[in-house]
Structure 1
Amino acid sequence: MTPYLRLLRAHQWLKNLMLLFPPFLSGALLQPALLQRGVLPILSFCLASSATYVFNDVHDAERDRHHPVKKGRPVACGEISRGRATFFGVCLLVGALFCGSRVPGGFFPFLAAYLLINACYTLGLKALPVVDIFCIAAGFVLRLQGGGAAFGVIISEWLFLSVFLLAVFLSTGKRLCEKGGLADNAANHRKSLEGYPEGFLELAMGITGAAVLVTYAMYTLSRHALIYTVPLCTFGLLRYTLRVKAGGGGDPTDALLKDLPLCVTGLLWVVLTAFGIYR
């Protein structure tokens, strides 16, 4: 794999499937020409997310060299110079803005907000405890709202709360795994980690995980066919928690792709939800 392909972090594009949640859950995914409408929104967020990863790698190159895994990233290990990576990131950014501007409706403000929050995150907000978690969670929520705008679907209050709290839960798990894995070197790589006292991240995971179950259950009560997916949601939350506490890695995308029980749970959720909505 070439360094520029690795710089894209294409496996993280899986998060952009969140844009399809509104039409999928509303029962509109199979409407004629709807999938074609999703090409530009998804492409714009893929380019935008890769652009933010590139700029983050350029900004954090020195810190990444102290990380056991991130030191192998193209900029940190010197495969790509900072100048070339920056130019590549600008090209991705321009492509994202162009594609986003071609999407009708109120989609573009959500894309712009995503880029702005990530820029602020890279430049300083990532160093602030709790704020860094909310910045990551905002990316999921903006994808959800952007999908609603692109496909003309209204996001229900319970769905919004479920996605937001799930994003906070997953982001907290990622920070907990980093703090445990890096140990005494945690603050050298990510400043915010030294601001989390012992036990805080575990408590935050417990609170947000429980809140996810409540809000998702309330969402399914308005969609009676989905009530049978609540046990899957429960299993997924507990499995992710187990993975984090066992040191298996807290990145949500890696967890979904590399943890077989989580992967199967996700696929079963899609199948059961599709059956309940589209049967």
Structure 2
Amino acid sequence: MTERTTGAAAVLDSPVVVQGREAVGARRVFAVPLGLLRTARPRQWVKNVLVVAAPAAAGQLVSWHTASRLALVFALFTAAASAVYLVNDARDAAADRAHPVKRHRPVAAGLVPVPLAYATGTLLGLGAAVASAVLCNPMTAALLIAYLAMQFAYCVRLKHVLVVDLAVVTTGFLMRAMIGGVALAIPLSRWFLITAGFGALFMVAAKRYSEAVEMEAAHGATRALLTRYTTGYLRFVWQLAAGVAVLGYCLWALESGGVAHGALLPWRQLSVIAFILAVLRYAVFADRGTAGAPEDVVLRDRPLAVIGLVWAAMYGMAVTDL
């Protein structure tokens, strides 16, 4: 008996077993911080690139002052959006466990405690609000604080109100597109706002439509509001929004007139073609019900990426009068 006990102890104290225990302990130590990082949605941070939309549309991206100011706004908006994701996942943990994909989120999976997600999200949101008030102009701080207030209200209540939920998410994207111009005191064109707003509604409604198609069998277990929308209604919304976005962009492009002095071609007007092709390409995924993750569609579809690069090149030549 003693020999067996001694042998077992020797095995447990062997270098291989000790290293294994240390590796498991290290994974546990980093599990929570990594879970918080995943909950902050690093892949979603690409959406915050929209802060350059207004300065890019105005052709004001060439100075160090502009770059540093936009980098600051991007960081603040990323912190604010991450704070909202943390609070949202803490509130939706129970519902997310019923979703085939969302159940793997760190809070739903139990890797990150719900109170810790709430506390981290609250501190991150407060930090972004205070930093914007100290480092940015008053209008930029007001816009960022309004975004936080609206998104937290969405997490608590507004996500359960028909149509209002679509409007709130759309407004969040529109605020991203506006804040770069506000930070640099650039006047915002009405056509820019219409195009950005309805373009965002197009993507939001397509996302909801895809979720509704995907989760029809779940009877709204993961998002109760989906049972109150019909797929026909959501299809109508994204089709209407796509049409208005295209119309707004056409009017915006044509407003500038013909060929600028010294330019080779009317690039702004020609960019309408690329814009419409991009909308049509994205609509393929919306129609299939596979636009539930807009960032995946935008980043992984090569034809859409090529169309986007062509549009960016055309618009870049338009604002630089090439």
Task: Bin the TM-score by the shorter chain.
Answer: over 0.9
Distance in structure 2 (CA, Å) of the matches to 1:27 and 1:222: 16
Letter of the 2:124 partner, please give it. L
1:22-68 per-residue CA deviation (whole Å, 9 max, x = no partner) reads: 11111111034210111221111000000000000000000000111
Shift in Å, 1:223: 3.4
Equivalent in the alignment of 1:76: 108
Paired residues in the alignment total: 279
Q: Does 1:57 find its partner at 2:89? A: yes
Which runs of structure 2 are paired with 1:195-214 in the superposition (5 Å)? 195-214=228-247
Normalised by the length of structure 1, the TM-score is 0.95
Letter of the 2:183 partner, please give it. A
Contact 1:105 / 1:149 at 8 angstroms: preserved in 2?
no
Equivalent in the alignment of 1:92: 124
Pairwise CA RMSD: 1.5
Which of 120, 135, 154 does residue 187 from structure 2 map onto?
154
Distance in structure 2 (CA, Å) of the matches to 1:246 and 1:187: 19
Report SS of the residue matched to 1:68: coil
Distance in structure 2 (CA, Å) of the matches to 1:49 and 1:90: 11
Q: Does 1:237 find its partner at 2:279? A: yes
Equivalent in the alignment of 1:274: 316
Q: Which moved more, 1:38-47 or 1:86-95?
A: 86-95
Contact 2:212 / 2:231 at 8 angstroms: preserved in 1?
no
Q: Which moved more, 1:233-242 or 1:97-106?
A: 97-106
Equivalent in the alignment of 1:7: 39
Distance in structure 2 (CA, Å) of the matches to 1:78 and 1:151: 42
Distance in structure 2 (CA, Å) of the matches to 1:106 and 1:198: 39
Which runs of structure 2 are paired with 1:129-208 in the superposition (5 Å)? 129-208=162-241
Contact 1:170 / 1:250 at 8 angstroms: preserved in 2?
no
Distance in structure 2 (CA, Å) of the matches to 1:240 and 1:56: 27
Distance in structure 2 (CA, Å) of the matches to 1:112 and 1:186: 35
Distance in structure 2 (CA, Å) of the matches to 1:21 and 1:104: 19
Shift in Å, 1:140: 1.3
Distance in structure 2 (CA, Å) of the matches to 1:183 and 1:233: 32
Q: Which moved more, 1:57-66 or 1:182-191?
A: 182-191
Quick check: which has more Rg, 1 or 2?
2
Equivalent in the alignment of 1:30: 62
Letter of the 1:81 partner, please give it. P
Contact 2:211 / 2:289 at 8 angstroms: preserved in 1?
no
Letter of the 1:84 partner, please give it. L
Equivalent in the alignment of 1:66: 98
Q: Which moved more, 1:254-263 or 1:44-53?
A: 254-263
Equivalent in the alignment of 1:255: 297
Shift in Å, 1:261: 1.9
Contact 1:64 / 1:71 at 8 angstroms: preserved in 2?
yes
Q: Which moved more, 1:268-277 or 1:147-156?
A: 268-277
1:238/1:85 CA distance change after superposition, 3 Å: same
Distance in structure 2 (CA, Å) of the matches to 1:197 and 1:249: 17
Distance in structure 2 (CA, Å) of the matches to 1:108 and 1:32: 21
Contact 2:213 / 2:231 at 8 angstroms: preserved in 1?
no
Distance in structure 2 (CA, Å) of the matches to 1:210 and 1:249: 18
Shift in Å, 1:134: 0.6
Which structure's relative contact order is higher, taking Cα pairs within 8 Å and 6+ residues apart? 1
Letter of the 1:90 partner, please give it. T
Distance in structure 2 (CA, Å) of the matches to 1:121 and 1:277: 37
Contiguous gaps of at least 5 residues in structure 2: 1-30, 258-266
Normalised by the length of structure 2, the TM-score is 0.83
4+ runs deviating over 6 angstroms? none
Report SS of the residue matched to 1:76: helix
Distance in structure 1 (CA, Å) of the matches to 2:256 and 2:55: 15
Letter of the 2:43 partner, please give it. H
Instruction: Determine what percentage of the aligned residue pairs are the same residue.
Output: 30
